[in-house]
Amino acid sequence: MSRVIIICRYMTNAFEMLRVRMRSIWPWLGLLLVLVATAYQLRQQGRLWLCACGRLQLWTSDVWSADNSQHLADPYSFTHLLHGFVFCALLAWGVPRLSLAWRLWLAVAAEALWEIVENSEFVIRRYREATAALGYQGDTIVNSLGDILACGLGFVLAQQLGFRRALAMFLIIEAVLLVWIRDSLLLNVLMLLYPIEEIKMWQTGH
């Protein structure tokens, strides 16, 4: 009888350990599913996997060239890093009891949704008409996945820094981008929603 009790306790403990492990792995499986689903949807929208040039670069720095938004990372990747900062703050405020892994999943899912919307014909056309991205044709799938990963990295970084230091870094990155490429996350949002001709002329160097 005692052996039966010991076996039952062992099986109960084993099932409990499995349940805890599965609970911890679900957010990471969810992240993988989001990336796969996003890539599939973007392909359905006609996005290319790679740059039409046939090359894959890890980094391209010229935002005015045809390579912008076509490779894994570019200066605009830093705006997606800042998306992660914003999502980290909003989710910490909105759903503080949710585990960190699930908050990261929500941030990545929201960023993935934005990538799908951003690469719709309506938004692409809006970028060309209202912002300095005159020749913008949309992102490649590789670039979109890179942007999503940048957002996830930004979320983790902001979580590690804490609110005050993350806010300081947010402002520093915004300032650097304004000097570097005459654009930033906040300016990009402003120009997309409420374009100002004087700013557009400044961005294009006129």
pLDDT of res. 3? 58
pLDDT of res. 8? 52
**Can you spell out the DSSP letters for 130-177?**
HSS-TT-----HHHHHHHHHHHHHHHHHHHHH-HHHHHHHHHHHHHHH
Count Cβ neighbours within 10 Å for each residue of 99-115 and write b for 16 or more, e otherwise: eeeebbbbbbbbbbebb
Distance CA 206, CA 196 (A): 14
Answer whether residue 56 is part of any domain: no
pLDDT band at 15 (very low <50, low <70, confident <90, very high): very low
How high does pLDDT run on average in the chain? 89
Span 120-144, average pLDDT: 87
Q: What separation, in Å, do the N-terminal and C-terminal C-alpha atoms of the chain show?
A: 88
pLDDT of res. 131? 80
For residues 113 and 42, is the Cβ–Cβ distance under 8 A? no
Domain span holding position 73: 2-49+67-203
Distance CA 140, CA 126 (A): 18
pLDDT of res. 136? 81
Answer whether residue 55 is part of any domain: no
Q: At what angle do helices 185-193 and 121-130 cross, to 10 degrees?
A: 100
Query: Which of 49-53, 78-82, 169-173 has the least mean pLDDT?
Result: 49-53
- Say if residue 176's pLDDT is above 80: yes
What is the model's pTM? 0.87
Answer whether residue 154 is part of any domain: yes
For residues 154 and 169, is the Cβ–Cβ distance under 8 A? no
Answer whether residue 58 is part of any domain: no
Tokens of 117: 């919307």
Answer whether residue 28 is part of any domain: yes
Query: Which of 70-74, 83-87, 200-204 has the least mean pLDDT?
Result: 200-204
Answer whether residue 25 is part of any domain: yes
**Can you spell out the DSSP letters for 30-45?**
HHHHHHHHHHHHHHHT
Q: In which residue are the tokens 């992102």 written?
A: 139
pLDDT of res. 2? 59
Count Cβ neighbours within 10 Å for each residue of 124-139 and write b for 16 or more, e otherwise: bebbeebbbbeebbbb
Span 71-89, average pLDDT: 97
Answer whether residue 35 is part of any domain: yes
Number of domains into which the chain is organized: 1
Single-letter amino acid, residue 124:
I
Task: Tell which residue, 108, 114, 87, has the closest CA to residue 31.
Answer: 108
